[in-house]
Amino acid sequence: MSSNATEARHGKAEGLDTREPAEILRLLAAGQQQAAKAVDDAIPAIAQAADIVASTLRSGGKLFYAGAGSSGLMAMADALELPGTYGIPREQIVLLLAGGISSLTDMEGAPEDDVALAKKDAAIVGRDDCVIAVSASGSTPYALAVADIAHRRGARIVAMANNAGAELFKRADVAILLETPPEVVAGSTRMGAGTAQKMAFNMLSTLAAVKLGHVHDGHMVNLRPDNDKLRARAARMVAEIAGIDMDEAGILMGSAQGSVKVAVLLAAGAPGTEVAKALLARSGEVLRVALSELQANKSSMKRA
């Protein structure tokens, strides 16, 4: 029997294959729900990790996601969403996936043991960067090697694993332990462990985006509106935040060249896009702070 919880046998799995479909599904659902609760205990660590991620991106460093297999897929899902959702430059988000992108058509297990590949992949990590290394077991050779090399190169390391005392944590500035229970199908960490990882990634990157000023009253105000659905969403955000109608919001979005933040500032009285951009630059790209400065400037002009 494995000492790792991610490989242990679930206490209610005996005879699983003989049960009625609905009973199996209820057990599977319960396993996912129990795994999700593991995220609660990791909140302090996730908050620390978000600080590191935000400061790295703010200073122009790169955010690397490193993983293999199912954990690598969870990392990839988060990495691919950030540029579109929060307008983070694509060149600042780098995915290191064991076996490379070509491995996605056939998720072979061998690449996760490829330390030589990990060393090659991690050679582009710099001292101003942050690496989020993820492994359900916390002992995947690829993730361990990337974290080790990145640490030696001076990068900050965030480690995410589902086993207490994971080897991966020894290399970490922040250790995110997601102590999920044994899987209903032993070792199938794409299930409960993957669910907890996906939640933790969602929470970490969203909090980092909040710290970077990319969220305002629950709106993703730094999104990249590059299709009809997102252009409509951007206009709705401007309308709701600025208290104007959709037609005016659409016109302002055109003037702002697709920037929700700039369009909101124009609606609030900024006398042009360059002034709006300057307000944002002084505010650290935080819309609320820029709006406050704009209102203060307008009030002082009235008094004068």
pLDDT, tens only, 112-135: 778 999 999 999 999 999 999 999
* CA distance readout (Å), 253 to 16, 32, 67, 196: 55, 41, 38, 37
Q: Residue 158 CA to chain centroid, in angstroms?
A: 12
Q: Which residues of 122-133 are buried (b: 16+ CB within 10 A; e: fewer)?
A: beebeeebbbbb
Angstrom distance (rounded) from CA 97 to CA 117: 10
> Which residues, in sequence order, are bridge partners of residue 219?
216
Q: From the DSSP assignment, how many helices (H) and strands (E) are in the chain?
A: 12, 5
Domains of the chain: residue spans and CATH: 7-211 (3.40.50.10490), 228-303 (1.10.8.1080)
Average pLDDT over residues 42-54: 98
Average pLDDT over residues 241-265: 96
Place of tokens 């979005």: 253
Instruction: State the pLDDT at residue 187.
Output: 73
Reported confidence tier of residue 102, pLDDT bands at 50, 70, 90: low
Instruction: State the pLDDT at residue 104.
Output: 64
- Mean pLDDT, the chain, rounded, equals 90
Within a 10 A sphere around the Cβ of 106, how many other Cβ atoms? 7
Reported confidence tier of residue 11, pLDDT bands at 50, 70, 90: low
Angstrom distance (rounded) from CA 185 to CA 232: 43
Angstrom distance (rounded) from CA 46 to CA 51: 9
Q: Is 13 exposed, middle or buried (CB count within 10 Å of its CB: 0-12, 13-18, 19+)?
A: middle
Task: List pLDDT tens digits, range 257-289.
Answer: 999 999 999 999 999 999 999 999 999 999 999
**pTM flag (> 0.95):** no
User: For 67, which DSSP code?
Assistant: E
- Given a contact cutoff of 8 angstroms between Cβ atoms, the answer to whether 221 and 261 are in contact is yes
Which of 14, 23, 81, 183 is flagged as catalytic? 81
| Residue 1 clears pLDDT 50, i.e. is over it | no
Tokens of 3: 């000492």
Tokens of 138: 């916390």
User: Is 293 tagged catalytic?
Assistant: no
User: Is 183 tagged catalytic?
Assistant: no
